[in-house]
Amino acid sequence: MNKQTAKQNDYSPEHILFLQSIRRTKLLINILRYALFVVFVVLWEVFARLNIVDPFIFSSPLRIIQTLGSLYKGGDLLMHIGVTLTETVLGFVLGTLAGTGIAIILWWSNTVQKVLDPYLVILNALPKIALGPILIVWIGAGMNSIIVMALLISLIVTIMTVLSGFMEENAQKQMLMKTLGASKWQIFSLVVLPASGPTIVSALKISVGMSWVGVLVGEYLVSKAGLGYLIVYGGQVFKLDLVMTSIVIICFLAALMYFAVQWFEKALVNWRSHSKK
């Protein structure tokens, strides 16, 4: 008898039925999710072949596959993917680390938080694309300015999301520990940080999309390689198959990063559940 069977024997029949219904629901959701994608791709191809949608403008799955093949044969596909993915991952990691660090500082000092709060709101409302020309002049026309653009776009959102979580997590426990004479570090390490895992994960999920936006904006403004460059180039020479292919690749890579964050979330939940035992 394996461990899973032994555990099930400890459950009541009603509990076992409930767990089975959850598994069936998850399976149904996965089936519908992938079926929806397959139906979308098939209809896209059929509509393009029947000229219900203009294949020159909207391309088609088959034409995208052919464009992928030609890019791969020419040796450009992996290079452009590598450039954009490097910029996005660096901007994502740096923005998350810097945003979380600044959020800790703002939580630590209530005075600093109140002083900087209106500036954070203003910076969050500021269209970051307006800073593009300044970054190009300041940092230079290259990968560094694109990474900084991705960092800036994700930074403020990360700060505000993580800080909001720090302030709301176990507010009563924080007040109780402060009343009992606990130090700031004790409150943060014993109450705030352990309870802020879901908040940080939520910030990561938001930061994934914002990092892609920052990189693509940067590549639109100044880039000689990358998926954003391919989109701009394809639009200029009216190779819209190239534009749609680049968009599909971006969607695929963004999904991979999102799934990586989901995997981290599950690992964090498992670690927290084991640590409580």
Map 143-166 to HEC letters. HHHHHHHHHHHHHHHHHHHHHHHH
CB under 8 A, 24+ apart: contacts of 193-200? 194/272, 195/169, 195/170, 196/162, 196/165, 196/166, 196/169, 197/268, 197/269, 197/272, 198/165, 198/265, 199/161, 199/162, 199/164, 199/165, 199/166, 199/169, 200/100, 200/162, 200/165
41-52 pLDDT per residue, tens: 999 889 888 888
pLDDT at 39: 93
Task: Quote the distance between the C-alpha of residue 194 and its chain's center.
Answer: 22
> 214 and 150 in contact (C-beta within 8 Å)?
yes
Q: How far is Cα 50 from Cα 192, in angstroms, rounded to an integer? A: 58
Q: Which of 88, 102, 197 is nearest to 151 (CA)?
A: 88
Q: Which of 178, 195, 190, 250 is nearest to 219 (CA)?
A: 250
pLDDT category, 1, cuts 50, 70, 90? very low
49-72 pLDDT per residue, tens: 888 888 888 888 898 998 888 888
Comparing 153 with 168, which gets the higher pLDDT?
A: 153
| Section 183-191 average pLDDT | 75
pLDDT at 169: 59
Angle CA(99)–CA(105)–CA(108) in degrees, nearest 5? 140
pLDDT at 212: 86
pLDDT at 43: 92
Supply the Cα-derived Rg of the chain in whole angstroms: 24
Sign of the Cα torsion 114, 116, 122, 123 reads: negative
Comparing 228 with 9, which gets the higher pLDDT?
A: 228
> 92 and 158 in contact (C-beta within 8 Å)?
no
pLDDT category, 40, cuts 50, 70, 90? very high
Mean of per-residue pLDDT scores for the chain: 80
**Statement: 61-275 belongs to CATH 3.50.50.60:** no
pLDDT category, 6, cuts 50, 70, 90? very low
Report pTM.
0.75
Comparing 168 with 24, which gets the higher pLDDT?
A: 24
pLDDT at 35: 93
Q: How far is Cα 53 from Cα 40, in angstroms, rounded to an integer? A: 13
